[in-house]
Amino acid sequence: MCYAELHCHSYYSFHDGASSLEELMLRAKELGYHSLAVTDHDNLCGAMRFAQLAKSLEIHGIIGAEITLQNGFHLTLLAKDRKGYANLCRLITAAQNSGERNDPSLPPELLPEHTAGLIALSGCPRGELAQLVAKSRLPRATRLVKRYLDWFGTDNYYIELQQNLAYGDTARNIALLKLAGETGARVAATGNVHYHVRERYQLQDCLVAVKNCKSLEETHRERRPNSEYYLHPVDELESLFKDCPEALENTLDIAERCTLDLTKDLSYIFPDYPTPEGFTPQSHLEKLCYEAAVRRYGSITPPVQKRLDEEFALIKKYSLAGFLLMYHEVIKLGREVMIDLGLSDPSLTLEENPPGRGRGSSVALLVGYLIGLSHIDPLHPGAFPPRRYHVQRAGYRPRFSPLHPRGAYPAHPRKMGLAARRPYRHHRHLPD
């Protein structure tokens, strides 16, 4: 096998991918692929599932994404390691925050500070480089390549060649190869895969029509020009790129350097919290809980102390204090909204009238009750059968739902005479 597919979309590209991760992986295994990247549009929704499937099928799975830049151009990014994955997550988050809903767009100026651990491919025909070459703007194309080489380094930026037998593919690849020779950039072939077998193109066309709210007859411009965007057997690719075999060989070099395995490398680091001077997140959380316990129970009774000691020990062991304090901040903002809307009496303490609702085993957490994450007192006689929240069993994060409050964030704010975005204005005040 002399090729690794580095540009592949699953149905997590939402209306621009017609195959599931399972279908893509099984087809790759059938074709003898040793490595496969999934690069869905502006998200990593399928990343963990993809990593698990790759491990079970003994295929080297590469995590990536096709990012939409603020000017509408596409750029393919692959994570080499955990640092690269972290930067990829940050860039996707920035794209989602900068763009409109369902229309992410990344400001290009954010790229230089987030290149560590990433490999960049110049993109599909909607990439900026491909567009400049297609319009014969070669001086600008040269400057663009040099800029990306400066940002990512000569070993981490590749000019992407795609040959899907569409009009303009051959001419564009010839121009890109010439540009690579002039700038010293290396080239990499990709298939721009959107479905695992050719026959699935019909579903792909339907998805594009649905996305654009048009009929199939009305979406000729939006749809792909043919049915060649499937996962190709390697012999077909060798024929398509017979004049540039190094473009296939370079994909193997890229794959070898992408060593991230989400199933074992992604150890979550919970956020720190900006505590008052003289406090750590743990000691600040304990202080808040003791103060609330005195308000609620009158004093720190032996059952309260015993329960808090157990929970504080687990919180400290798994470094959850900052995480819980972040949620406490969200809850306080929710309480402010309830007061603004006349849904809560300002004289009531947070534990007396919390805006949120805990779910599942998290309602058994006394700390959660005392800082307002849950409305249920787990020490109340007969509240529910004895339960404990076991961090060891549940994984890293408790399942809290502070953003499902009692009227603080109505589903339809206009029904209450509010501007559509007003209930969410407080999110700006959350700590970075």
- The answer to whether the CB of 63 falls within 8 A of the CB of 108 is no
Q: In the 8-state DSSP scheme, what is residue 6?
A: -
* Shared domain check, 65 and 197: yes
Residue 25 maps to a domain: yes
Q: In the 8-state DSSP scheme, what is residue 193?
A: B
* Shared domain check, 325 and 255: no
Residue 257 maps to a domain: yes
Distance CA 283, CA 288 (A): 9
Distance CA 73, CA 108 (A): 10
Distance CA 160, CA 167 (A): 17
* Shared domain check, 243 and 112: yes
Q: What is the pLDDT along the chain (432 residues), one digit of tens a residue?
A: 799 999 999 999 999 999 999 999 999 999 999 999 999 999 999 999 999 999 999 999 999 999 999 989 999 999 999 999 999 999 999 999 998 888 999 999 999 999 999 999 999 999 999 999 999 999 999 999 999 999 999 999 999 999 999 999 999 999 999 999 999 999 999 999 999 999 999 999 999 999 999 999 999 999 999 999 999 999 999 999 999 999 999 999 999 999 999 998 876 677 778 999 999 999 999 999 999 999 999 999 999 999 999 999 999 998 899 989 998 999 899 889 989 998 888 888 887 788 866 666 667 889 989 998 888 888 887 655 555 554 444 444 444 444 444 443 344 343 334 444 433 333 333 334
* Segments forming the whole domain that contains residue 420: 281-429
* Shared domain check, 298 and 258: no
* 343: nearest Cα among 351, 334, 262, 141: 334
CATH code of residue 117: 3.20.20.140
Strand 186-190 and strand 118-121: pairing?
unpaired
* Shared domain check, 311 and 250: no
Residue 4 maps to a domain: no
Number of domains in the chain: 2
Residue 5 maps to a domain: no
* Shared domain check, 332 and 250: no
Beta bridge partners of 68: 74
Residue 140 maps to a domain: yes
Domain boundary among the residues 221, 236, 265 is at: 265
Residue 270 maps to a domain: no
Domain boundary among the residues 213, 236, 265 is at: 265
Residue 276 maps to a domain: no
* Shared domain check, 285 and 231: no
* Shared domain check, 294 and 228: no
